[in-house]
Structure 1
Amino acid sequence: MSDGAAATRMLLTGVAELVTNDPAPDRDGGPLGIVRDAALLVEDGRIAWVGRALHAQEHLTGGGGPAERADRREAEEHRTLWDADVEIVDVGGGAVIPGFVDSHTHLVFGADRAQEFAARMAGQRYEAGGIRSTVAATRAATDDELRARLAGFVAELHAQGTTTFEVKSGYGLSVSSEERIVRLAREVTDEVTFLGAHVVPAEYADRPEAYVDLVVGEMLDACAPHSRWVDAFCERGAFTPEQSRRVLEAGAAAGLGVRVHGNQLGEGGGVQLAVELGAASVDHCTYLSDADVAALAASDTVATLLPGVEFSTRQPYPDARRLIDAGVTVALASDCNPGSSFTSSLPFCIAVAVRDMGMTPAEALWASTAGGAAALRRTDVGAIRPGVRADLTLLDAPSHVHLAYRPGVPLVARVWKDGAAVA
């Protein structure tokens, strides 16, 4: 840092590859909008400037000078001309990408389901009913226990480059427990989703319609003040399209945005319902008819794919190539939860999507940044351009391709959220 008062601005320089998700004629990578030998300036937690490193000094001093015609070494020699309140961070030839946007997680719960995972790996089929065991553990946990576990997951997300994340309820399934989950989730993110319609709890097993009545009534009233979204698991073993519609329409009437779990275990009505209701996203999309794909392509609803689920359950992976070629907007998310996808790593999801779902490295990166932002209907994250939040992930690699090329290697070197280091 320069001498004097604490820096109010930060300049990242020495960036071999800067992925902006802001395409322009003079940038590479199509939708990724790649700037090579780049720098960027952060002011007050927002991106203030993006460009070639050799032009950084000119921008900071407000005029021409050696940097306009010099290489990076000559610009370094003139660093003394730069404003004293700028912290200079040389990333040494790494790649900088937007912070990952994880638009689907379930982070507030008690206990894990490791034995269930082991049983699946031994051949037992996955069924959504396993959620009820997590419900029992979550109801039994204290607020402090849930809060501590949640803090650990947030630290995991940050360490792996995720700066924006959504958190769903759904492991309480009673008025008080669901309210507690969304209240705790709101302590760590504004992107909170009320998922009282996750599964029918054991005490309502013979009265599913009565449970839906509870969800759209007292439970929604308690949870809506802490939530931005409403969601429903429209799937066999969970809720029918008709039941899901009741929940989603009630949530929308309460001012919540709509999200849908759909088409995970087989073709069904989830996708069509999501499109009809103008949902921001429909998540899973493992089994799709041609009509489902066409409906998504003609809509603003994002198809959010969750490769960690298929990895953990040994179901077929969704066909991302089919969706992308049809013109559907695709997001990648972790679905971090204790039952079907206990990973918080979007780099892992990118590697799986490239290897097994027909995505290119560029498409997978876009889907886990700009795609996730679209699934949350956010324009202030998921990109690196002037005016957006300075949510940045530095890779210990010269290119974003290494996220898939080097699976399992911890490539995230530093992470900033709103311009402040979080990992």
Structure 2
Amino acid sequence: MRTLMTNIGELVTNEKRDTDPLGIRHDAAVLLDGDRIAWVGDARSALAVAGDEGLEVVDAAGQAVIPGFVDSHTHVVFGGDRSAEFAARMAGEAYTAGGIRSTVAATRAATDDELRARLAGFVSELHAQGTTTFEVKTGYGLSVHDEERLARLAREVTDEVTFLGAHVVPPEYDDSTGSAGDADDYVDLVVGAMLDACAPHVRWVDVFCERGAFTPEQSRRVLEAGASRGLGVRVHGNQLGHGDGVRLAVELGAASVDHCTYLSDEDVALLAASGTVCTLLPGVEFSTRQPYPDARRLLDAGARVALASDCNPGSSFTSSMAFCIAVAVRDMGFTAAEALWAATAGGAAALARDDVGRIVPGARADLVLLGAPSHVHLAYRPGVPLVAQTWVAGQRI
């Protein structure tokens, strides 16, 4: 199957040219051949290059085309609902990580078919909003049986699955409940039988290195155990306050450290000097009323920055990358161009991918046609459904 998208008013390729990081082309065309991009060039020469045999022609009518969004941080396999918690937070309660346990209880109670159906709904939601590559974390099972099934179900919809058994300590291992277990015993389970069960289904290991979750020492154990099994490293860090998450991520060569709401000057310098991507999650600060991280500080220091949704039922129940772009531009110091790069090529870097997040020959044919003449409209028109059509691996969704 070959598809020619032509009459594109503004094409964002993310192939940097001169001072333009987005590699924008005007009056452009893109040829898709199967699941790959075969050619990018001027619309006036497109038919001569493509020929007309077995060709579907899509007229973009002067609108913008961008790479599919790459959402490198989601938690979209879970059961239950936490809208009451959100309402209480909006009424003045502070956010803590403790609410995760209510989702754990609901997830454990859900059947595979119930979780699978809900996950399918989120995948459709992601695609409809222009997200073509997405990561999914476990972390709402917190037992060997339940973490394995979350990893297995997530693997049915994406190659980018992350083992997050070290999300929080479950109630049965919490000393404060009067039970026999404790956090160190739970970490023993995570790095042992739980990792053994989940490793065949996942590409990454992650840990919530934060007060109320896991200490730096416990986090290191989890990450090193995952790395020893060939898994890539990711870290939740510096969300609720200053801490060791960034330092640990950089030291272990993590692909990304996510949240980064509270950063010291040393943290920023470490990120700028490393290959670790700093993934910012605007939906979290929007939904928890925490202060927004200062992206300008990171960008000006030379750190690589990604944007992701952190779609989850507790602290950021949005799957809209366009919304995250709008918030990032409005409240975090991004330009519209920087935010779009962070939500596409930046997300790809956070997943150690170079085949997505770009519109260049050889890349996977993931494209989004906007109902707008420019990518700037993603921030300029917040809340408006601007995604007109989405292609995933050359297939129109």
**Cα drift, residue 400 of structure 1:** 0.1
Distance 2:17 2:78 in 1: 43
Structure 1 residue 151 corresponds to structure 2 residue 151: no
**Cα drift, residue 253 of structure 1:** 0.2
Helix, strand or coil at the partner of 1:220: helix
Structure 1 residue 85 corresponds to structure 2 residue 54: yes
Counterpart selection for 1:177 from 146, 149, 159: 146
**Cα drift, residue 57 of structure 1:** 2.4
Distance 1:195 1:405 in 2: 35
**Cα drift, residue 24 of structure 1:** 2.8
One-letter amino acid of the structure 2 residue matched with residue 219 of structure 1: M
Q: Which residue of 2 aligns with 1:17?
A: 10
Counterpart selection for 2:321 from 318, 338, 346: 346
Structure 1 residue 59 corresponds to structure 2 residue 28: no
Distance 1:287 1:227 in 2: 29
Q: Which residue of 2 aligns with 1:285?
A: 260
Q: Which residue of 2 aligns with 1:391?
A: 366
**Runs of at least 5 residues in structure 2 that lack an aligned partner in the other structure:** 176-181
One-letter amino acid of the structure 1 residue matched with residue 341 of structure 2: W
Helix, strand or coil at the partner of 1:126: coil
Helix, strand or coil at the partner of 2:325: helix
Distance 1:351 1:380 in 2: 25
Structure 2-normalised TM-score? Answer: 0.98
Q: Which residue of 1 aligns with 2:309?
A: 334
Distance 2:2 2:385 in 1: 28
1:274-301 superposed Cα distances (whole Å, 9 cap, x missing partner): 0000000000000000000000000000
**Cα drift, residue 320 of structure 1:** 0.4
Q: Which residue of 2 aligns with 1:257?
A: 232
Structure 1 runs of 4+ with >3 Å offset? none
Q: Which residue of 1 aligns with 2:24?
A: 34
Distance 1:112 1:311 in 2: 18
Counterpart selection for 1:209 from 176, 184, 188: 184
**Cα drift, residue 58 of structure 1:** 2.8
**Runs of at least 5 residues in structure 1 that lack an aligned partner in the other structure:** 1-7, 61-81
One-letter amino acid of the structure 2 residue matched with residue 51 of structure 1: G
One-letter amino acid of the structure 2 residue matched with residue 83 of structure 1: D
Structure 1 residue 374 corresponds to structure 2 residue 374: no
Kindly tell me the number of residue pairs found equivalent between the two proteins.
391
1:90-146 superposed Cα distances (whole Å, 9 cap, x missing partner): 011110000000000001100110000000000000000100000000000000000
Distance 2:60 2:270 in 1: 44
**Cα drift, residue 83 of structure 1:** 2.2
Distance 1:111 1:91 in 2: 41
One-letter amino acid of the structure 1 residue matched with residue 186 of structure 2: Y
Helix, strand or coil at the partner of 2:79: coil
Distance 2:16 2:312 in 1: 34
Q: Which residue of 2 aligns with 1:49?
A: 39
Structure 1-normalised TM-score? Answer: 0.92
Distance 2:134 2:33 in 1: 23
Alignment of structure 1 residues 186-197 onto 2, 5 Å: 186-197=155-166
Distance 1:100 1:16 in 2: 19
Helix, strand or coil at the partner of 2:6: strand
Q: Which residue of 2 aligns with 1:321?
A: 296
**Cα drift, residue 14 of structure 1:** 1.2
Q: Which residue of 1 aligns with 2:178?
A: none
One-letter amino acid of the structure 2 residue matched with residue 97 of structure 1: I
> Relative to structure 2, which stretch is displaced further, 334-343 or 29-38?
29-38
Q: Which residue of 1 aligns with 2:220?
A: 245
Q: Which residue of 1 aligns with 2:103?
A: 134
> Relative to structure 2, which stretch is displaced further, 43-52 or 133-142?
43-52
Distance 2:239 2:393 in 1: 35
One-letter amino acid of the structure 2 residue matched with residue 37 of structure 1: D
One-letter amino acid of the structure 1 residue matched with residue 2 of structure 2: R
One-letter amino acid of the structure 1 residue matched with residue 39 of structure 2: W
**Cα drift, residue 340 of structure 1:** 0.2
Helix, strand or coil at the partner of 2:21: helix
Q: Which residue of 2 aligns with 1:75?
A: none
**Cα drift, residue 84 of structure 1:** 2.2
One-letter amino acid of the structure 2 residue matched with residue 173 of structure 1: L
Distance 1:23 1:42 in 2: 21
For the aligned residues, what is the CA RMSD? 0.7
Q: Which is higher, the Rg of structure 1 or of structure 2?
A: 1
Helix, strand or coil at the partner of 1:30: coil
Q: Which residue of 1 aligns with 2:210?
A: 235
Distance 1:37 1:144 in 2: 47
One-letter amino acid of the structure 2 residue matched with residue 284 of structure 1: H
Helix, strand or coil at the partner of 2:390: strand
One-letter amino acid of the structure 1 residue matched with residue 263 of structure 2: L
Q: Which residue of 2 aligns with 1:73?
A: none
